[in-house]
Amino acid sequence: MTDGEPPMTRPSVPEADRLIGVKRPVLSHGFVVLVDYMGNDAAIVQAARVSYGPGTKSIRDDRGLIRYLLRHRHTTPFEMVEFKFLVRLPIYVARQWIRHRTGSTNEFSARYSIVPDEFDLPPLEEIRRQSTRNRQGRAEPVAPEVAERFRSDLERVSRDAYAAYTAALEHGVARETARTILPLAYYTQWYWKINLWNLLHFLSLRLDAHSQEEIRLYAAEVSKAVQAVCPVAYEAFEDFVMGSVSLSAKERLAVRSLLQGSTPEKACADAGLPLNREDGKPMTTGEGVEFLEKLERIRAPA
């Protein structure tokens, strides 16, 4: 800090401060809590303007600068903002979450503590068939009796497993060994700290419709904290990331063909984006199908 500059103070966002310590429930027994944050929209601007030096504030206003930075993927200023969460989540969700290796995580240890008797029991409407297009995803609901049977089996297996876990502990089996009998539906919890840029990347993947429903629910709660702390940055994220459509080189050729009056099918053919298999049957996945889906997304009302 140089002479004549105002003293530095910790940014405080009243809307975000009201969220600190509040458990926002997710699933059967889960929650998301905003523990703390460092920085806000102003911190992004402050970090960016270090590059310009004093007297450059008139180059563009704060909102315009943040939108420019995100639009052009100037990431470092966003890394000046950090979030810390306490999250309680099923183990099967945690194993997806931990794939994002850009945060710092300290997890509840079942080697030291007794696991609470809490497991996730999905609602009937979320018990669905395996998707034929997305090998990781779900499609339409199964028959009600199948869903009821699955829920009944999950509850029985979970309760039997917990009884065996408790019995093992009572007979002196080490906690680190006894825990191995518990299903993935049981809950864990952790502290998770991450900077804004990496958090936005997490949200871009986990708010997407292709992500598993359960982790999308957690991401939605996390996103509310981001919106409170950095509303301008989050608005830019919605515009330039979540609301955008990227085009490959072939897709750009297809768009050019469309602008010249071709049908979508002809445009795909012109650009080398196949829509049919070698046997002539329509494809259900692939670059051509995904391009047509992008067109539908563009046509859809905002």
- How open is the CA angle 1-81-242, to the nearest 5 degrees? 140
| 206 classed as catalytic | yes
C-alpha span between 63 and 48 (Å, rounded): 12
Are 137 and 144 in contact, with CB atoms under 8 Å apart? no
C-alpha span between 292 and 136 (Å, rounded): 22
**DSSP strands (E only) in the chain:** 24-26, 30-38, 82-90, 104-107, 128-130, 138-141, 187-195
Are 268 and 292 in contact, with CB atoms under 8 Å apart? yes
C-alpha span between 14 and 20 (Å, rounded): 10
Question: Which is catalytic among the residues 67, 88, 179, 206?
Answer: 206
What is the helix, strand, coil percentage profile of the chain, to 5?
50, 15, 35
C-alpha count within 13 angstroms, C-beta hemisphere, residue 74: 15
Number of neighbouring beta carbons within 10 Å of residue 95? 12
Which DSSP string do the residues of 177-222 spell out, in sequence order?
Answer: HHGGGS-TTBEEEEEEEEEHHHHHHHHHHHSSTTS-HHHHHHHHHH
* 137 Cβ contact list (under 8 Å, min separation 6): 130, 131, 210, 212
C-alpha span between 126 and 147 (Å, rounded): 9
Q: Which residues participate in catalysis according to the annotation?
A: 206
